[in-house]
Amino acid sequence: MTIEEKNPYTVFGYGSLIFKPPPHTIRQVPGFLKGYVRRFAQKSHDHRGTPENPGRVVTLIHTEDWEAFSSSDPFPDEDVVWGVAYTIDPQYESEVRDYLDYREKDGYTIEEIDVWSFEDGREVVVAPKCYTYVGLPSNPSFIGSQPIESLAERIWQSVGPSGRNKDYLYELSAAVRKLAPESHDSHLYALETRCRKLDAERGHAPAK
């Protein structure tokens, strides 16, 4: 395969990459993955928490892996994850790969996936052989399923170098709603509802 024939470097964002895209993006396409769930099942020691008080951020989990936790998960039947496929300018591929490897260093590994969307009512692949960062259940920062109430409490009170954990949740929820008429995520929205209830009940927010 020649350089001209090489597939462009495309990365799928399903967390903060949706509202904070990678640099040197030349194309972005909303779409979804099949056979995954998105859950706040990953500790954040470096962005939305600290080593002493880690926050919580999202990861992708294969549906079959998540089934081990589904007895305590209120949304076991959702297996589509909406996000954005970003195509990177080939001149900056190496730079962006290094940037993302560092940004996603806290327990994430790379997987190759296909990104789907709808065209004329049909499901079609809009970004084949796309890369994404996944916090596998085997990584040390993976925490599995937690009740919505305790998870929301942790998110609400956690703060890290990148800001308040709850702001990450709020920005992500808002961004997913805007992706497409079909985009949805019950797990995100339930956590957002609970955290906003905590805002109303306590009348203050953790300091940045």
Residue written as token pair 């919580």:
56
How far is it, in rounded angstroms, from Cα 60 to Cα 66? 10
Q: Long-range contacts of range 140-143, CB-CB < 8 Å, 24 or more positions apart?
A: 140/107, 141/42, 141/43, 141/44, 141/45, 141/54, 141/106, 141/107, 142/41, 142/42, 142/43, 142/59, 142/107, 143/41, 143/42, 143/43, 143/56
How far is it, in rounded angstroms, from Cα 130 to Cα 28? 12
Nearest CA among 9, 34, 27 for reference residue 125? 34
Query: What is the helix, strand, coil percentage profile of the chain, to 5?
Result: 35, 35, 35
Catalytic position from the list 4, 95, 104, 192: 104
| Residue 104: active-site member | yes
Positions marked active-site: 104
